[in-house]
Amino acid sequence: MKKIPEFKTEAEERAFWRRHDTGDYVDWSDATPVVLPRLKPSTRTISVRLPESMLEQLKLLANKRDVPYQSLMKAFLAERIHRELHPAR
């Protein structure tokens, strides 16, 4: 096994692992699966321009469901993405 180098920053480490295979540095034969139930996916802030009427309608729907409108929008997008990627057969 190769020795894992010391990294000065997380960015440096990420760049390293993008270019190298962990199999050259880690013996995975003793690895055991781990469940991380509270792990939240990484998010990125974006800007989306919506017609004001659409935003108001989204806020009304969110209010009826007692959820933040951004959360409702994410749920709607996730549902649509799932339908597009996995159409009913």
Instruction: Give CA 3 to chain center in angstroms.
Output: 30
- pLDDT tens digits for 42-68? 889 999 999 999 999 999 999 999 999
One-letter amino acid at 12 equals: E
Model pTM score: 0.55
Domains of the chain: which residue ranges? Answer: 1-28, 46-89
Cα(66)–Cα(87) distance, rounded to whole angstroms? 29
- pLDDT tens digits for 25-48? 999 998 999 988 888 888 899 999
Backbone angles phi, psi at 2, to 5 degrees: -80, 155
Percent of the chain as helix, strand, coil, to the nearest 5: 55, 0, 45
